[in-house]
Amino acid sequence: MCPAKYRAVVFDRAVEEKLREICLEIQKRFSIYFVEVGTDRDHVHFLLQSIPTYQPTKIVRVIKSITAREIFRQLPQVKKKLWGGEFWGKGYYIATVGRHSSETAIQKYVKNQGVGVKNSYTQIHKGQLKIL
């Protein structure tokens, strides 16, 4: 889970779509596969698969730095909502999914972020992100 800076409400339809595009580019350049991306108004949940040589902190650093830079570059109006010039908050939460935990349950949780609040989420399936 990665919150926006100041828990600002920044994830509207345009930001979700841009995030989707950026995640697909990250997926092409790095060995990070986005299984599911769920957005809520002020935070994002990512369900990822990656190679075992990447430390979880490196994965977060790559995702947060590239997505922030590209969202600010391509959607400059978002920067106005975040007066400190940073997109992501300092914190994040990481949990691993192994064979003894339910990837399906976690995927469903991530997928349903924002449902009821704005009834949309971002889903990635077989390399294609879709806003449903």
Q: pLDDT digits over 24-60, tens only? A: 999 999 999 999 999 999 999 999 999 999 999 999 9
Contact 33, 47 (CB under 8 A): no
- The DSSP bridge pattern shows strands 2-3 and 43-50 to be antiparallel
The Cα angle at residue 121 between residues 37 and 49, in degrees rounded to 5? 15
pTM: 0.78
> Would you say domain 2-131 falls under CATH 3.40.47.10?
no
What is the Cα–Cα distance from 7 to 55, expressed in whole angstroms?
Answer: 26
User: What are the residue boundaries of the structural domains of the chain, listed by start?
Assistant: 2-131
Can you point out the beta strands (E) in the chain?
Answer: 2-3, 32-39, 43-50, 122-125, 128-131
Cross-strand partners of 43: 3
